[in-house]
Amino acid sequence: MTTPMSEVMDAQAWVGATNPVLPGFHPDPSVCRVGEGADAWYYLVTSTFEYLPGLPVHRSRDLVNWELVGHVITDQLDFSRISDSDGLYAPTIRHDGERFFVVCKHVGGPAGGEGNFIVTAEDAAGPWSAPVWWRQATGGDPSLFLEDGRIWAHAARQTDRQDWSGQGEIWVREVDPLTLQLTGPESVVFTGAVIGAIWTEGPHLYRRGDFLHLIAAEGGTGRHHAVVAARGNVATERFEAGASNPVLTHRHLGSGSTVVNVGHADLVEAADGSWWATVLASRLVDGVDLLGRETFLVPVVWEDGAPIFAPGVGTLVPEPDTPVGPDGQPAVKVSEPDEPWVAVRRLPQEIADLGDESGLVLRAGGALDDPMPAFIGQRLLSPYTTVSLGLTPQPMGEVVEHGLALRQSGRQWLTVGMAADGDQPRGSVLVVTRCVDGIRDEVSRVAVAGPGSAVVEVRGRTAEIVWHTDRHREVVAVVDLAHLSTTVANGFVGVVAGAYAVGSGSVTIGPFAQRGR
């Protein structure tokens, strides 16, 4: 049953709910179906920006319960020059009956290694091919439309004409199925659904009935984000915007809404004939969106040849109606997928021996504000959660500091680390440090002895920093986490929590845990 609107504004109603179906930093979701009936699988890919491995691929039987099967990008691209919130933008996943395609834009790579590209795989788990670059393709957010053995690429960019500042357009061009290169003429098919709307992005084409439908986003990725729809007959001809645009947005709910930034939709027809959209959105607690943009599910119906998103409600809700699963019953959320380790601009295994659940060996290096920090982490999955990391004092050595970190960017982070104190063994003090807009601030410094766990108890905008041992629990600081908000940081990622080590040499850390999501 659809959740009443009175509950939509309550942040607690979204914790542990069906929506988001992929919690934590999983923006720009793209989805496709492979197979029919009870054998159908749904595959979903999301943006990862400066983190590796890149573009996680999840699969599901019911669009609600997802499992991670692999990553599209591992070692195919050069990330050494990627800035924060650059890297892999807005992928699209499609399947032609034999192979998977993913198209994406790589932002900030070296000459010859940036721009729009396409990769393929026979299995969604990989291995994925080396990228085929579309050197002539301007703009970003590329997508694919497959029909009758032909492949049509489309993407968004700013118009040359600029009838208003920020006006965007969508182009379409055919792809050679053998070489995967763009071929033939380019056609501009759309220049916005609403006069004055900015930053057209995230286009996708679908055939349904007599029409070819275009779904896109407008308004930017912030509070004015929205989904728009248009339709036509031929991929390369003009699409006419529908009268109901925007077809989904939360911009009209104001700053009091718990869920904001709604947009960037991709449609999929379920095996039971129903239609659904995956969209990105952000959850706010006390005005703070720590998790960045997450993946939500919304039902879609068709009326008069046009899509109606969230029929009867018009917004995202914590418990939407769900598709019928393989057992013929409505899908029920029973679990969250395991979170993989990720690292900044390199693969986690380049700096860590992940080992077993009891711990990992981390090779020390740069701090959190270094371009290549010695940090590996996992997405923060709830605005109400507890993150912990086991720490053990080490002999004096080359590792200056090690501990638990919450990273939004190289300029916005929080660390709880063991450090040396004078000539005493490292681990004699626990230091809590906030970095706000690139400026470090030591919040707390307390003496500790012996092993224990650094704990960050996240409660929306604030967190208690706790040193926990078998014998006692000590609150060492209470911090404001607003600087870790995606909106405040002005980036595209959410908080990633994990382990860091500054200096050289290696240190054993762990176990790491995230609870209460």
Catalytic annotation, residues: 28, 201
What is the amino acid identity at position 91? Answer: P
Residue whose pair of structure tokens reads 């601030």 in the numeric block:
441
Q: How far apart are CA 342 and CA 359, in angstroms?
A: 16
Query: Token pair for residue 50?
Result: 């400066």
Instruction: Characterize 275-295 residue by residue with b for buried, 16 or more Cβ atoms within 10 angstroms of its Cβ, and e for exposed.
Output: bbbbbbbbbbbeebbbbbbbb
Region of 295 (left: φ > 0; alpha: ψ -120 to 50; beta: rest) is beta
Taking the C-alpha atoms of residue 497 and residue 278, their distance in angstroms, rounded to an integer, is 25
How far apart CA 388 and CA 25 sit, in angstroms, is 19
Instruction: Give the three-class secondary structure for 78.
Output: coil
- Amino acid identity, position 444: S
* Residue closest to 153 by CA, chosen among 178, 117, 112: 117
Candidates 321, 319, 291, 297; CA nearest to 21 is: 297
Tokens read off for 185: 């003429």
Q: Are 99 and 120 in contact (CB under 8 A)?
A: yes
Q: How far is CA 415 from CA 17, 84, 454, 505, 514, in A?
A: 30, 18, 10, 20, 16
Taking Cα atoms as reference points, which of 110, 108, 103, 158 lies closest to residue 134? 103
CA–CA distance, 493 with 283 (Å, rounded to integer): 13
Best CA proximity match to 119, nearest among 106, 134, 136, 101: 101
Give the H or E element holding residue 8.
helix 5-8
Burial (0-12, 13-18, 19+ Cβ within 10 Å), 459: middle
Write out the two tokens for 348: 């986690």
